[in-house]
Chains A and B, each alone.
Chain A
């Protein structure tokens, strides 16, 4: 059985109600799921003996600006045993802008989620240390949102006196 089918089968049998959608584009296999199931799905992917997605490469989000579910949180995880990269996606709405943190599954997710919070303002529930990663703590905006201008908001970041 091909590895993609194995993932598909394992996820579908364990999480029938997670509204899973599987897709493939340019040899990249991705799974879309309900955001409520992100932690159990990730735990399974990491701890299953056949799958072993031990490396969490990257966590980011995409801002779709006008779509109903405004953000999509994207996880790239890699299985060293099978040399396979998987993309997980979960939609997050602007009104309910939070998702469970996977930093209990991979410790690498700690900073990656902090960065995502800094840039998009998505709250990661149960995160051990949710602070801004790059911008100063008292900065009010989230720069990578599409409604934030490239040149910033004048006066939002103070300069030292001459």
Chain B
């Protein structure tokens, strides 16, 4: 952080920062302080830039500036086939790539009208929940690190590595998975992967409790977060906040319940809700959600049926690699799908899942071609970040770090 000069900030941003006063930028730089935080700042979780207007140490104005990681996802989607886009969804919310894969293929399947076999649906549900666990582990760890508890970060990352090892067995990649396919998943979950999932779930509860003990009895942690960044339920909804941040404000809204997709209506789980709406409540919601996800995964392992993992719809679903090499018809279908795409009927759909940060939706418009005419990503981090200026107002600079950590934005999907 260094002192800003007038030329460093675009006049329009200055205008946004000073809009409710009649002082000029020179006055503001003279009497108040304008502090530039980011885009390279360890606590902004990526490349979020926040301009803070300070009176002493109290924040009186805040303007987030996005776009430092704008990679043009929506434009690229218009220029590639539905299959080609699966790897790109990995890199949206790069903490939980599996959940994004699931969201994308569900949207495309809805558009193209493909029925997915039950085993594939259960596998998808399993990976989405494990992805939620990995995401919240990083969120909690990084959050704790932001407010000064480094050990928790090392411990939660240790747990996360175990899930990444499961991904390794499941699909061969530990981080950016691209595991789902339109009409199913890339390959069936082998028994050793399922055994490892079971082992992970069995030991997870104790290890999570261990991590929790470091924080829940830590007075510094509690006092730095209690009553910081309070958001009422109405304000949260009005600002479009979804996910754990909304549920910490007392609104029980979870798309897994509100508009059930996959097989969530066959699973028994609770939606952790807190009413305080402060940073501490947002932390508690995440920890409780991890427990619920573990519970869901345990039920999935019990209920998972045997059978196919790819839909039988040769014009739209890529055949498995071994079949392409040995059978003529599959080879032709593969050629057609790769070269011309799956050509869903003309129409437009919106499909959203409950990602780890909130509602992750895809709005697709098809003109009957191999690539989407329009693809819009409704990313939870983008909308959750909108609450930041409202939350930090009146707090100290050090609380800004805690509040950003409690919102848990991922700039990959916020900037698209």
Residues in chain A within 8 A of chain B (CB atoms): 25-26, 28, 54-58, 60, 62-63, 74, 76, 80, 83, 85, 87, 106-108, 110-112, 115, 119, 129, 131-138, 143-144, 148, 150
Contacts and interface: CB of A to CB of B under 8 A. Distances in A.
13 contacts: A28-B349, A60-B376, A74-B376, A76-B363, A80-B258, A107-B240, A111-B386, A112-B383, A131-B13, A134-B67, A137-B10, A144-B75, A148-B75
Contacts of B74: 119, 144
The range of chain B's interface size is 35 or more
B240 A56 contact: yes
A25 B361 CA distance: 17
Contacts of A57: 240, 352, 359, 361, 378
A134 B70 contact: yes
B238 A107 contact: yes
Given A76-B361, A80-B253, A55 B240 contact: yes
A74 B239 CA distance: 18
A76 B378 contact: yes
Contacts of B10: 136-138
Contacts of A76: 350, 361, 363, 378
Contacts of A74: 363, 376
B416 interface: yes
Contacts of A129: 16, 19
**Binding site of B, secondary structure by majority: helix, strand, loop or mixed?**
mixed
Which of A55, A138, A144 is the most central at the interface, judged by chain B CB atoms within 10 Å of its CB? A55
Contacts, number: 101
Contacts of A83: 258-259
Contacts of B219: none
Contact of B240 (A63, A106, A148): A106
B327 interface: no
B382 A111 contact: yes
Given A54-B237, A76-B378, A108-B386, A28 B12 contact: no
Interface of B: 10, 12-13, 16, 19, 66-67, 70, 72, 74-76, 78-79, 110-111, 113, 237-240, 242, 251, 253, 258-259, 347-350, 352, 359, 361, 363, 365, 373-374, 376, 378, 382-383, 385-386, 415-416
Contact of B378 (A58, A63, A131, A134): A58
B379 to A, nearest CB: 9
A144 B363 CA distance: 15
B383 A108 contact: yes
Given A80-B253, A144-B74, A54 B238 contact: yes
A133 B226 CA distance: 32
Given A60-B374, A111-B385, 10 more contacts: A57-B240, A57-B359, A57-B361, A57-B378, A62-B373, A76-B361, A83-B258, A111-B382, A133-B66, A134-B416
